[in-house]
Amino acid sequence: MQMKITYFKIRKAVAILFAIAIAVCCAHHGSFQSVAATAMKNTAVQKTAQMPQVYPCGFPVGIYMETEGVMVVTTAQIPTNLETLSSPCEGSLQQGDYITSINGNPVNSKEELVSSVEACAGQPLTLHIVREQESFDISVLPIQDTSGTYRLGVWVKDDVQGIGTLTYISEDGHFGALGHPINDSDTGKRVSVRKGGLYESQIQMIIRGKNGTPGSFCGIICYDTSTFLGNIYENTACGIYGNVSALMKEKLEGATLMQTAHKEEVVCGKALLRCAVNGEPQDYEVEIIKTQPGSTGGFQICVTDKVLLEKTGGIIQGMSGSPLIQNGKMIGAVTHVFVNDPTKGYAIYAEDMLNH
């Protein structure tokens, strides 16, 4: 069964991207891994606090985030005029480190890093490094390459982008999306975000999933002020968060608020998955097959809707963040697919997303 939801139409954009569940960003701890869930007794606990109402979404959005400093992907060797190879940063920098300043001057882009290094005039540079939960300074002496240009011998990146699914928007204009963190595809580590934005996106093609090979969305994004939907401020274990734009608020006019559920209200049985595989969000039938309200994990689902199975093969890359609804309440969002069985997946509780 599929139920059509009245939502705004998403404008056509111009830049083509493959959505690998925010594809370029979630290689290790993101959406699409095999997950072993531990069975637990479902003990109902009465909660008195009222859960908030939100606008459940389920449509794709383009995501662009700039890193806090520049992220180190790997170190490299530099050919020199002495016909030797030199790697100034080897042993000092690690994959996933962030270079946030050079000689006390902030570094927020690859261009700023290159400019500072090239201007060093053969003098050592003091790099401020953020690594996991610690920060420290290191001194590095850039090396001249065969063209006479000073280099650090390090590959870096300063942004990530892709397509994901917007989960909900609160009454006061805050949003939550994905249900899992955005992790860098090269390092597998969570991206430290300086700033970012949501943009309109539209799915153009769907690659069906099959056992052993997750399917994926292929969509288009337009990075333009006229398609800007909101600011991204946080990249957390429970998803990405921020505030929606005036444009998004306009598009919400006429949308209906929905109550969210406590973990203990989620029960095994029928539910609905809201996603936009045909251009606009629709509800598709799923079965909740395991719940774990007392844990920090989520719950398991199985896609049963024949239309969705025919279209996608089940849960596919790019579907992360699709809201799940049961008994008239938003109960959570899709986060993972079981690689060896794409009809099944994992979900995060709405309560955890809201209490991130």
pLDDT digits (tens, 9 = 90+) for 147-203: 999 999 999 999 999 999 999 999 999 999 999 999 988 888 899 999 999 999 988
pTM for the model: 0.83
| CA separation for the pair 230, 247 (Å, rounded) | 9
Active site residues: 180, 305, 320
78 forms bridges with which residues in the sheet?
A: 86
What's the topology of domain 87-152?
Answer: Pdz3 Domain (2.30.42)
Provide, for the chain, the percentages of residues in helix, strand and coil under a 3-state DSSP scheme, each rounded to the nearest 5. Answer: 10, 45, 45
pLDDT of residue 46: 53
In terms of DSSP H, where are the helices of 72-206? 110-118
The two tokens of residue 259 are: 């109550």
Residues in the chain, pLDDT under 50 = 2-45
The two tokens of residue 304 are: 């049963």
| CA separation for the pair 241, 323 (Å, rounded) | 15
Question: Distance between the two ends of the chain, CA-based, in angstroms?
Answer: 33
| CA separation for the pair 89, 322 (Å, rounded) | 42
pLDDT of residue 168: 98
Block residue for tokens 């991130």: 356
> Identical fold at 2-66+159-354 and 87-152?
no
Q: Where are the domains of the chain?
A: 2-66+159-354, 87-152
Q: What are phi and psi of 126, to 5 degrees?
A: -100, 115
CATH number, span 2-66+159-354: 2.40.10.10
